[in-house]
Structure 1
Amino acid sequence: MDRPLAPPVADSRLSRALSASACGTLLLVVPMRLDEMAALLGAALRETVLQAAARQLETALHALQQPATGAEALHRRGDGFLVVLGDASPEHVDTAAHLLLDALEQPMEVAGQRFCLGGCAGRVDFDAQSGHEVATLLRQADLASLEARRLGRGQCVRHEAATTMVAMRRLRAEDTLHRGIDQIRLDLLFEIQADMCTGALTGAVVLPRWTPALGAGLADGGRGWAAVAADAGLMHRLTLMLLHGICRQVRQWRDQGLDVPSLSVDLPAGLWQDRALVSMVLDALVDQGLPGGTLTLLMPGAALSGDADLLRGTLRSLRATGVRVGLARLGDAGPVSLDTLGRLPLDELTLDARVLERLGQRDGTRMAAALIGLGRALGLRVVAEGVRSEEQLDVLRARHCDEFQGPLLSLPVGATTMTQVLMHARVQHRVVLDSSTGTAPGPGTATGAESTRGPAHRTGRVSITAAAG
């Protein structure tokens, strides 16, 4: 658990520093690995580590103490450090933040051990109109630094009114979850996947929609329902609801005689370091009498930063049951080494939609080709997310990408429409042909809501004709 910062304390030196400038910026720099190092080296050395961090920051601060930045002395605040930049331009503030964070990336030595602390920072801009109330500025700096910590090491987040609004929305969502967990309703949307060459239906990605809308409006914080559930200590319960909901839907389709391909679902990074994940998945499958191949579980790149042995054990256990596993959004998963990927028992990789956005550029096409080649070299299926145009599809097909999904094929659809897709695929054996003309229709306008336009409608390239009666 992250140790909370000390509560705001009125500091006369800090007050004078703030009052000395008509406008400026307050930076709160927080070491990221302090708790880890204190646990490894011993709690008695916690203060020693902080003092070493202070020396690194003071060295960087010395380079900033010039009229252009108006940098003041370092002020200690709990486990963090405050710096006031008076009358500095936005460019100089950015420079100061980067230099201070870079300072914490330099190795330090404590008790004969060399390591890097790393850090993040919260930034608050102030002027005569916004006021110089110390307690308010410190509270805003706290909120910004907490958001920076959520985003990860090396991040600097500027406090804005939206920062507080996001934090309050997160708190209200957690409150709603605690008060009405038994009334939470889950609806499933499906984003269809097809074979790149044949157009055959290969699967669908499940997109959970919760009512009330957990995580709604939290996109700025990169949070969503999973993070709200984690904050509330209800991750297991909501994950079980999601897995059981998917398996119940598959059972309904199978009882109708439909051939259901594997359904993919993203699971948050924290679950992949949870020893209970395998039992939760098996519980949902066994409850509906389904084989493991019913599910493909996708993990984000952040899951790779945890215990590697535990992760490999979890992946092996899941695959032993027939469940497929994949790495989601390659190209936006942060740095992933070839050695790491080669050691993981995976079945597929998905290319992030942002990789596809750069396909028109020379370096973007090369990146996509390299990522697809990596997946094929490892014997994995490669799925492209967010395909929007025929041009993107042609480039991906030429690079031997296996499957695709996105607006060109279909926007997310509800369970009723997905049922029609499965019925259509059973007869036509493909999902990218217009059932009436045998040609690929133009992009449609259907969304996750069920269509009300009559017996025949289109969703992207998918053309669905409902049976009479």
Structure 2
Amino acid sequence: MDSTDKLYELVLSSSLDMILSSSRDPLALCDEQLCFRQINLPFTQLTRHLPDALRGKPFLQLTPDGAVGCVEMEQAAQQGRDWQGVMQLRRGDGRLLSARVELKRIAPNLSHSALWLLWLLPPETEQNPTGNIQHDSLTGLPNRALFLDRVDQALIAAARVKKSVALLLIGVDRFVLINDGLGREVGDLVLKEIGQRLSATIRRSDTLARLDGDMFGAVMQIASTGDSVLVAEKILHALGRPIRVDKRDVTISVSIGISIFPEDGGECQRLLSHAESAMRHQKKQGGNHYQFFAAEMNQAAKTRIEMERGIRQALISGEFVVYYQPKVSLGDNAVVGAEALVRWQRPGMGLIPPGDFIPVAEEAGLVGGIGDFVLRRSCQQAAEWLGKGYRPLRISVNVTASQFRDPQLLHKVEQALADSGLPPQYLELEITESMLVGNVEEVIRKLTTFRDMGIHISIDDFGTGYSSLSYLSRFPITTLKIDRAFIQDMVGNPKMAEITNAIIGLSRGLGLEVVAEGAESLEHIDILRGQSCDLVQGFFYSRPLPPDEFERILSRGFLYDNGT
């Protein structure tokens, strides 16, 4: 860090200290993982937590299990955008506190990816740009604070006359793709239209609200659960028509979670939590439908929360490890590369594969931290092997969509290379086809920057997304990985073999290296060798291996089958 950078750090640190110490509002400074770095006196007075007790701990540890808003807040932080919403927090004396939480990204310092300023306000002081403290400024609908009050009133009224109440949480499916692909202005117009269509589906005696982001809520008194089904189906029908924005049609779908009073709970927070569990369950099923809460979802939600807590602890405790699966040249069976694959060595539970924890990490906004670790560790390991005199090896590291959107990605890659001493030509970043859809010029700019550094770019799982080879030719990529589904079906399906042959031929015509993923049998190898495929990755040669076992392969330099 040069003298200018040090001065910048000093000025930023001094400014933040002054803001926290002089403000009468409860403020906290958090790092990129939303772990506390500093809190001021009003924050301590409001939450009853001492600074030393919170320092280094995640903010979301203050929230009760299943609290509404946790997932949205983490996703916003992962995507580098500001967020606000009402949340339940647990004070130091054990009592629950309802507060409006505002999360704002501030100037990133030069030694960390980002800093976040966290501001707590009582819900009743919520203010939006229109000056209305009870309604959302974008849609004009009631906001979360008013909605919670209306839910409480509905429950009291229903209990008096022994009626039922339905609470619906409505989440837009994959809304982040609209924001990222079409821009936030289009996203806001879509949300306004959704609000108008939803308003037309409910009775004047019911309450519809925009809770935060792309989540809406509705509460209504019902005579039977069938009434809530009718409303849910009306909502799905109303939002099934494309939304016209700026002379283009935007197609959306929503997932609806439903909880019923008194069967699913007797108070607002429990009903909200259960409706959210049902909504997220429906999203995992593909969305575009409604789902009633069931007791097993509550258990699933608890399991997910425990998994999320475990992931947070694993990032702190260093429980993640990187395995390496060889990439073998079909010309001479030489090991020329490897894909870095994360595993979780969870105490008392053994080695956990990524399929069991990566989906939870993505939903909780923690996948970026895992990806950063894999990037750093892989560069360190590759540099170590290179320093021992082994054949130069290109290490492939997967980049998730949220990582790719991170404005600090370039800095993180540069830092990983600088810290490890690995030459850039021995690093390959693997991205998926879906990341190329949206702001094409921005994607090209980012990929070109990496290529200018000498880093290789690979398209993973080709054939499962939206792209064609002609479309891919617009991007500065170097490698194409054929999806394992094509490889595994080649033997018994001649048409699939013809498809892989065509992909390999056209790729070579574009000057792209081709990797066949998922080769597990000698028949696969023979077909791919006959098609002049460059590299193969799969169980025929080797499963993913820990570093010490992989190094034994490097010492030989060649593989034939099953790691021999």
TM-score range, shorter chain: 0.5 to 0.7
Q: Residue 235 of structure 1 is aligned with which of 368, 371, 381?
A: 368
- In the TM superposition, what is the alpha-carbon distance from 1:348 to its structure 2 partner? 0.9
Is 1:107 the equivalent of 2:107?
no
Structure-2 residue corresponding to 1:324? 456
Counterpart AA for 2:249 = F
C-alpha distance in 1, partners of 2:171/2:238?
Answer: 12
C-alpha distance in 2, partners of 1:298/1:354?
Answer: 18
- Alignment check: 8 A CA contact 2:257 2:282 kept: no
Q: Residue 402 of structure 2 is aligned with which of 270, 278, 281?
A: 270
C-alpha distance in 1, partners of 2:343/2:264?
Answer: 42
- In the TM superposition, what is the alpha-carbon distance from 1:250 to its structure 2 partner? 2.1
Structure-2 residue corresponding to 1:450? none
Mapping of 1:190-229 within 5 angstroms? 190-212=324-346, 219=355, 223=359, 225=361, 228=364
Mapping of 1:52-451 within 5 angstroms? 52=197, 76=208, 78=210, 79-80=215-216, 104-109=239-244, 115-122=249-256, 139-146=273-280, 149=283, 154=288, 163-176=297-310, 178=312, 181-212=315-346, 219=355, 223=359, 225=361, 228=364, 230-231=365-366, 235=368, 238-332=370-464, 334-338=465-469, 340-359=471-490, 360-362=492-494, 364-425=496-557, 430-432=558-560
C-alpha distance in 1, partners of 2:256/2:216?
Answer: 10
C-alpha distance in 1, partners of 2:294/2:462?
Answer: 31
- In the TM superposition, what is the alpha-carbon distance from 1:157 to its structure 2 partner? 7.2
Q: Which runs of 5+ in 2 are unaligned?
A: 1-75, 77-82, 86-142
Q: Which runs of 5+ in 1 are unaligned?
A: 59-72, 433-439, 441-459, 464-469
Aligned residues: 401
Aligned in 2, Cα 1:160/1:39: closer, same or farther, shift over 3 Å?
same
TM-score (norm 1): 0.67
- Alignment check: 8 A CA contact 1:326 1:348 kept: yes
C-alpha distance in 1, partners of 2:511/2:234?
Answer: 43
- Alignment check: 8 A CA contact 2:382 2:393 kept: no
Tell me the secondary structure at the aligned position of residue 246 of structure 1: helix
Tell me the secondary structure at the aligned position of residue 343 of structure 1: coil
- In the TM superposition, what is the alpha-carbon distance from 1:262 to its structure 2 partner? 0.4
For 1:152-211, what per-residue CA distance to the aligned partner results, in whole angstroms no more than 9, with x for missing partners? Answer: 775877866665455434433443455574422442211111123432222111112244
Aligned in 2, Cα 1:297/1:30: closer, same or farther, shift over 3 Å?
same
Tell me the secondary structure at the aligned position of residue 245 of structure 1: helix
C-alpha distance in 1, partners of 2:507/2:279?
Answer: 37
TM-score (norm 2): 0.57
- In the TM superposition, what is the alpha-carbon distance from 1:292 to its structure 2 partner? 0.7
- Alignment check: 8 A CA contact 2:447 2:457 kept: yes
C-alpha distance in 2, partners of 1:391/1:74?
Answer: 64
Tell me the secondary structure at the aligned position of residue 504 of structure 2: helix
Aligned in 2, Cα 1:329/1:99: closer, same or farther, shift over 3 Å?
farther
C-alpha distance in 2, partners of 1:275/1:300?
Answer: 18
Tell me the secondary structure at the aligned position of residue 223 of structure 1: helix
Please say which of residues 348-357 and 258-267 is displaced more in the overlay: 348-357
C-alpha distance in 2, partners of 1:51/1:328?
Answer: 40
Is 1:51 the equivalent of 2:51?
no
What fraction of aligned residue pairs are identical, expressed as a percent? 23
Aligned in 2, Cα 1:28/1:371: closer, same or farther, shift over 3 Å?
farther
Structure-2 residue corresponding to 1:466? none
Tell me the secondary structure at the aligned position of residue 326 of structure 1: strand
Aligned in 2, Cα 1:280/1:218: closer, same or farther, shift over 3 Å?
closer
C-alpha distance in 2, partners of 1:416/1:46?
Answer: 52
